Copies of this chain bind each other. A is one copy, B any other.
Amino acid sequence: MKENKSKYAIMGILSMGPMSGYDIKKRFEKSLAYFWSESYGQIYPILKNLAKQGLATRSIKKQEGKPDRHIYALTDKGRKALQEWMIQPVGRLIGRHEILLKLFFGQQVSLADNIRQVEHFRKLQSQKLKEIKATEEVLKADHKDNPNLTYWLMTVRCGQYVNRAYLRWSDETLAVLRGMEQEGVIKNGN
Q: Is the CB of A155 within 8 A of B95?
A: no
Q: Is the CB of A169 within 8 A of B161?
A: yes
In the assembled complex, A180 has its CB within 8 A of some CB on chain B? yes
Partner-binding segment picked from A54-62, A64-72, A86-94: A86-94
Residues facing B in A41-58 (CB within 8 A) are none
Instruction: Report A167 CB to chain B, min CB distance, Å.
Output: 9
Q: Is the CB of A86 within 8 A of B113?
A: yes
Minimal Cβ-Cβ distance residue in B for A87: B113
Q: Is the CB of B87 within 8 A of A116?
A: yes
- Majority secondary structure, A binding face: helix
Residues on B with C-beta less than 8 A from A90 are: 98-99, 102, 117, 120-121, 124
16 pairs across A/B with beta carbons < 8 Å? Answer: A5-B101, A32-B101, A35-B100, A35-B101, A36-B97, A37-B94, A82-B105, A86-B109, A86-B113, A87-B109, A90-B102, A90-B117, A90-B120, A93-B99, A114-B151, A157-B173
Known: A37-B94, A89-B117, A91-B98. 14 other contacts (CB 8 A): A36-B101, A86-B105, A87-B109, A92-B124, A93-B96, A100-B159, A103-B151, A104-B152, A106-B151, A106-B154, A107-B148, A157-B169, A157-B173, A165-B165
